[in-house]
Amino acid sequence: MVPDDEGGGVMRADLLNDTVDGLDEALAAVDGFDGVLVDGLLRPQPAQAVGLAGLAEAVAGSPLAGRVAEAAEKTAAGAAGEDHFVALAAARTALLGSVHDALVARVGEAVGRPGAEESGTAAAAGADRAVNLHAAARSWLCDLARAGWHGIDHELVAGAAPVVSAMLPEPGLRRLAALLDGFAAELAASCPGATLEDVPVRRWADLWSRAVLLTLPGAASAPAVAGATGRLLPLGVDVQEHATAVQAQVHAVFEPADGGTPRLVRASVSAPKPDTVVGAGLWQLLRPHLSLLAAVSEGRAMDLDAMPVTGEGDLIWDDARARAGEPAEVFATARVALPTAAAFATAPLDRHPARIAVPVLLEGYAVEEDGNGVAFQVAGQRLAVDTDRVPAAGPLTPEVVASSGACVGLLRWDAGEFLLQPLAVERTVRRKTVAVHAGAWAGGTTDKAGVRAEKAATDAVKVLRERAGKLLRK
Amino acid sequence: MGDGALSVREKSSTARVVPPARPRKLAKVPFVELADGRLQGVVSSGSDIGRVYVSSVEAGTYAFACSTNNNRPCGGARGWFCNHIRALVLEAVLQYGVERVTRYLKVEVGGEAPDGDDVTHAMTATRPVNGDGSAAAQVFSRFLRHLAYLEFEPTTAPLPEMQWFPTTRAVA
C-alpha cells in the first residue's frame, strides 16, 4: 500500500532513487556494444570483439541467441553483412526493452496506479510498399556502422538525403524518414568524426539500431485496434522537434462512455518543417490538424465518437470524430481522474527507456535551485526537473516551475536517473492559486509575448510560402 | 545507476546535439545553411522580387561565389565579398550562433563577443579569391528541397521516434 500523507501527491519517490536489480548489468552490455560503434566495424580490433561478445552473451538465454552469437562472431572478424547488423540492432533493442520494463514496473510501484493492461498489438498491415527505400536506408546505416562515429565525413552523411527525400512524401514512411533526417543532421553538424570529442555514444547507437529495425517489413506498423467513445480530459502537451520535424503529443485521461476503466492515452500530430520554422511557428504548423490543441488552450474536455486508438494507447486523431466538451481543469483531472486511469502496454519495438513518459501529479514538494537547474524534494527524495523540455513558445518558464506548489508532469528516465518533465504547475499569486500550462499557446494566445511570437512566425512562413510559390512550381 | 565511467552526454539517449535555429526575419535571406563544406544560401534581390542570388563561402579558403538563380554572375562579387555574401554571413550568425559558424568555416575571431561583422572581417582580411561558382545549381536545388518541407502533409499517426528529439529552450 502507498502512504497517503503527502496531500494528493502519493508518489513513493524513494523507490525512484532505489537500485533496480539487473539494470547495471543490462546497461553494461549495451554500453559495451555502443563503444564498438564509436570506432566502426570496418577493421574490428580485439577490444571491439569483447563488446560484441558481451552483447551476444547478454541475450544468450533468449530466442535471439543463435543469430546474435553468429552476428557477433562474423562482425568481430570484419565479415558482417546486413543481416548481422540487423541481428545486433535487435539484440541491443531487446536489452533496452528489458531495461524499459524494469523501469516501468518501478514507476508503477512508485505512483501506485493500476498497471498496464495487455491489449495485444495488431498484426503488421499489408505488404511492404517501400522495399527499395528500406533497402537503401539499411545500406546507408550499415555503411555508417562500418565507418563508426569517428569515421563519419560529409560525403557519407549526405548519403541519407536522397533516401529521406524519397520517403517524406509517403505518410506511411514518416517514422523512418523523420528519424533518419534528424539523425543525419546531427551527424552532419558533428563532421568530421575524426576530431569529434564527447560523442553522444548511447544516443547515436539508439538512433542507429532503431533505424535499422524500422527498415524491416512491418516494423513501423501500429494500426488502430479499437474505437474510443467517451470523454477526453487533457493533462498537457509534450513537444518534440529536430531541425526538420516537429511533433506535439497531448497526454490525456480517456473516460469511456460505457463506464469502463479510464485509460491514459495520447493524441499526436507531427509535420516535417523547414529549420527556420521554430517557437510559435511549430504550433501554427500543427494547430490546423488537431482540434485538441485548441481545447487544451481553452481548458476544455473533448467528446470522442469512435476515435481510432492503437494497442498502446495512441489516438489516431480525426477532427470529425471529436467535438469540444465542457470546461475541464487539468489539476482537477490529475487529482480526480488520473489516480484510477490505467496505462496501455507499450508495443514491443517501442520498449525503450526514452519512451517512458508517465503522467504524475506532485504536491507538497520543496524546490531546490542550483547550478544544475531545478529539482523537487518529494518526501525527502530529490527528483530532478527537466525544465529544458518545456516548449519555449509558452508561458511556463523555469522560474515559474521553481515558484510552484503543485505540478502535473511526465515522469521520464535518462542517463541513469528519473526526471520530471513539467506539463503544468500551480502557484500562488496574491493568495490566489493560478495554473500555468506548458501548452497554453498550442491553440493560440492573447498573451502579449505570445502574440508577438505568433506574428514573427507567421511572417517567416509567409516569406517561405511566397518563395515556394514563385520557385517550386515553375 | 548506470556506468559511472561514462559522462552524462555519453549515456544520455536524449542529449540535444544540435540546438534549434534562432528565429530570424527571412525576407532578406530566406535560406542559409552550413553544408557541403560551405556557408551557402539564397539572398533576395533588393530590386527585383522575382530574382534571388545564390551565394556561398567555402570553409577554410573563404573562396566565394554569388550569382542569380539564372546563373548570371553578381556584379558586386568581383574580387571581394558582395552585399549578398555579407548579408548571408550576418544571417548565418543569427541563425546558428557565431560559435557554430566560425567552427564550420574555420574562422579565427578574437574579442569578447564577436558578431557577424567580425566574422566577415576575419575572412576578408585573408584576401579570399572568387570561387568558380559551380555549386550554385546545387545550392539552389537544396533551397527548393528546403522549401518542399512546407508542402508535406502533417499526420496524426504517432511518431515514437520523436521521443529522442525533445524540444529545448536552448538556442544556437
Q: What is the pLDDT of residue A472?
A: 72
Q: How confident is the prediction for chain A on average, in pLDDT?
A: 93
Touching B: A residues 169-188, CB under 8 Å: 169, 171, 174-176, 178-179, 182, 185-186, 188
Query: Is A385 in the same domain as A427?
Result: yes
Q: What is the pLDDT of residue A2?
A: 43
Choose the final residue of a domain: A312, A340, A368: A340
Choose the final residue of a domain: A422, A437, A452: A437
Q: Which of A128-142, A238-252, A334-348 has the lowest mean pLDDT?
A: A128-142
pLDDT band at A5 (very low <50, low <70, confident <90, very high): very low
Q: How far is B155 from chain A (nearest CA, A)?
A: 5
**3-state SS assignment for residue A10:** coil
Chain A contacts of B160, Cβ < 8 Å? 175, 222, 350, 355
CA dist., res. B168 & res. B172, Å (int): 11
Touching B: A residues 328-367, CB under 8 Å: 350, 352-355, 357
Query: Is A190 in the same domain as A291?
Result: no
Would you call A468 and B52 a contact, using CB atoms and an 8 Å cutoff? no
Query: Is A193 in the same domain as A94?
Result: yes
Q: What is the pLDDT of residue B48?
A: 84
Domain annotation covers residue B9: no
pLDDT band at A6 (very low <50, low <70, confident <90, very high): very low
Query: Is A196 in the same domain as A60?
Result: yes
- Phi, psi of A396, rounded to the nearest 5 degrees: -85, 120
pLDDT in tens, B26-73: 999 999 999 888 999 999 998 887 789 999 999 999 999 999 988 899
Q: What is the pLDDT of residue A129?
A: 60
Over range A80-102, report the average pLDDT: 97
**3-state SS assignment for residue A185:** helix
Query: Is A325 in the same domain as A390?
Result: no
Pick from A127, A59, A126: which is nearest to A92 by CA? A59
Region class of A416: left (phi > 0), else alpha (psi between -120 and 50), else beta: left
CA dist., res. B76 & res. B85, Å (int): 10
* DSSP letter for each residue of A212-274: HHHTSTTTT---EEEEEEEEEEEEEEEEEEETTEEEEEEEEEEEETT----EEEEEEEEEE--
Domain annotation covers residue A121: no
Choose the final residue of a domain: A214, A233, A258: A214
Q: How confident is the prediction for chain B on average, in pLDDT?
A: 91
For chain B, the maximum distance between any two Cα atoms, rounded to a whole number of angstroms, is 63
Q: What is the pLDDT of residue A126?
A: 44
**3-state SS assignment for residue A424:** strand
Query: Is A57 in the same domain as A188?
Result: yes
CA dist., res. A307 & res. A229, Å (int): 7
Domain boundaries, position A261: 224-340
Q: How far is B95 from chain A (nearest CA, A)?
A: 8
pLDDT band at A28 (very low <50, low <70, confident <90, very high): very high
Pick A240's closest partner by Cβ from B8, B100, B163. Answer: B163
Q: Which residue of B has its CA nearest to A249?
A: B158
Q: What is the pLDDT of residue B83?
A: 95
Domain annotation covers residue A421: yes
CA dist., res. A218 & res. A222, Å (int): 9
Who's near A1: CB < 8 A, 6+ residues apart? none
Residue with cell 546558428: B96
Q: What is the pLDDT of residue A121?
A: 54
Domain annotation covers residue B128: yes
Cα–Cα–Cα angle for A24, B163, A358, rounded to 5 degrees: 70
Question: Do the beta carbons of residue A165 and residue B147 sit within 8 Å?
Answer: no
Q: What is the pLDDT of residue B4?
A: 47
Pick A472's closest partner by Cβ from B34, B147, B168. Answer: B147
Domain annotation covers residue B168: no
Domain annotation covers residue A236: yes
Over range A237-260, report the average pLDDT: 97
pLDDT in tens, B116-137: 999 999 999 999 999 888 889 9
Query: Is A66 in the same domain as A181?
Result: yes
Domain annotation covers residue B140: no
Report which DSSP code applies to B57. E
Q: What is the pLDDT of residue B122?
A: 96
Query: Is A133 in the same domain as A39?
Result: yes
pLDDT at B3 over 50: no
Q: Which amino acid is located at A163 in the chain?
A: V
Q: Which residue of A has its CA nearest to B159?
A: A175
Q: What is the CATH number of the domain that holds A264?
A: 2.40.50
Question: Do the beta carbons of residue A395 and residue A283 sit within 8 Å?
Answer: no
Question: In total, how many domains does chain B have?
Answer: 1
CA dist., res. A474 & res. A468, Å (int): 10
How many contacts, defined by CB atoms under 8 Å, are there between A and B? 242
Domain annotation covers residue A468: no
pLDDT in tens, A442-462: 999 999 999 999 999 999 999
- Phi, psi of B53, rounded to the nearest 5 degrees: -105, 140
Domain annotation covers residue B4: no
pLDDT at A8 over 60: no
Q: What is the pLDDT of residue A205?
A: 98
Would you call B1 and A20 a contact, using CB atoms and an 8 Å cutoff? yes
Q: What is the pLDDT of residue A3?
A: 42
Query: Is A318 in the same domain as A233?
Result: yes
pTM of the model: 0.94
Touching B: A residues 95-124, CB under 8 Å: none
Query: Is A137 in the same domain as A159?
Result: yes
Domain annotation covers residue B155: no
Pick from B121, A159, B113, A344: which is nearest to B105 by CA? B121
Q: Which amino acid is located at A384 in the chain?
A: A
Would you call B158 and A468 a contact, using CB atoms and an 8 Å cutoff? no
Q: Which amino acid is located at B114 in the chain?
A: P
Report which DSSP code applies to B144. H
Who's near A336: CB < 8 A, 6+ residues apart? none
Domain annotation covers residue A80: yes
Domain annotation covers residue B112: yes
Q: What is the pLDDT of residue A371?
A: 82
Alpha helices in chain B (DSSP H): 8-11, 83-96, 98-105, 116-124, 136-148
Pick from A23, A25, A52, A58: which is nearest to A39 by CA? A52
pLDDT band at B114 (very low <50, low <70, confident <90, very high): very high
pLDDT in tens, A311-346: 999 999 999 999 999 999 999 999 999 999 999 999
Query: Is A230 in the same domain as A264?
Result: yes
Q: What is the pLDDT of residue B170?
A: 85
Domain annotation covers residue A8: no
Domain annotation covers residue B43: yes
Over range A173-186, report the average pLDDT: 97
Query: Is A46 in the same domain as A148?
Result: yes
Q: Which of A106-120, A139-153, A260-274, B109-123 has the lowest mean pLDDT?
A: A106-120
Question: In total, how many domains does chain A have?
Answer: 3
Q: What is the pLDDT of residue B78?
A: 84
Cα–Cα–Cα angle for A93, A95, A99, rounded to 5 degrees: 110
Q: Which amino acid is located at A376 in the chain?
A: F
Domain boundaries, position B32: 26-134
